[in-house]
Structure 1
Amino acid sequence: MNLFSLVVVISKLLRPSVSEGDKGDEKEMAKSILKAVVFLTPIFGITWILGFFVLIVDLSDGVIPMIVHYSFTILNSFQGLFILLTACIGEQKVREALLKHVTSASKSAKTEVSSKITSSIAKK
């Protein structure tokens, strides 16, 4: 399933986006595929390694097998979140939009607080 997911991501990266219009630069496309493979391989690999450890330590009893089982379950359940976060960190456009949103939200919060303070002072 992980290999299938990786193939789907790479095939989606090969398609030009709506904003690009044409095929785009082959070098940039290869770079984005390499970046996706570099980001997704550790995410998929860590869970597979823990899965093999689950098989190995499953025969023994104790605290270590329980830790391995819980860590395997937790990392597998959050795998989609990790993929989303690495995709957001990996794309410069997403980082810029997120930074713009955070800075505009903080500016609006500051102006809202200052307007509340001035209105409360004016009432007194």
Structure 2
Amino acid sequence: LTHQYLELNALVDEFRDYNFTVLGFPVNQFGHQEPGANKEILSGLREVRPGRGYVPNFDLFEKGDVNGFNQQPVWKYLKHWNPFNSNDIRWTFKERFIVDATGTPYIRINDYTDIYTHGGLRDDIYNFLHYGHISL
């Protein structure tokens, strides 16, 4: 699902005027999909996945854990807010959170749908930014 990096850049470009951004948290807890060291992640994105000189236009944090004893504080906070019948994130490419500008979580989405598929994350963000709610 690394093609979604391109879609994440598109989201940031589309909603820039709404004080919108994406926060990326690389993780290696799901099928060893991010095995490189922190200093290798950006070059891996640029050269391999998705490649073709890709550079994220959003903040990409250091790699860390989303589950378990060493989970990053942001994940502990988000999971405490809405445990989604589980204390663990199942996969960061499909579990997403929409958080407002004050840091208050609004919704937790567990969805394999591509970002720009009708009814996908892009539509959820649009509805949140324009109407203050998401139609589920």
Is TM-score (shorter-chain normalized) higher than 0.5? no
TM-score of the pair, normalised by structure 1: 0.29
TM-score of the pair, normalised by structure 2: 0.27
Q: Which has the higher strand share?
A: 2
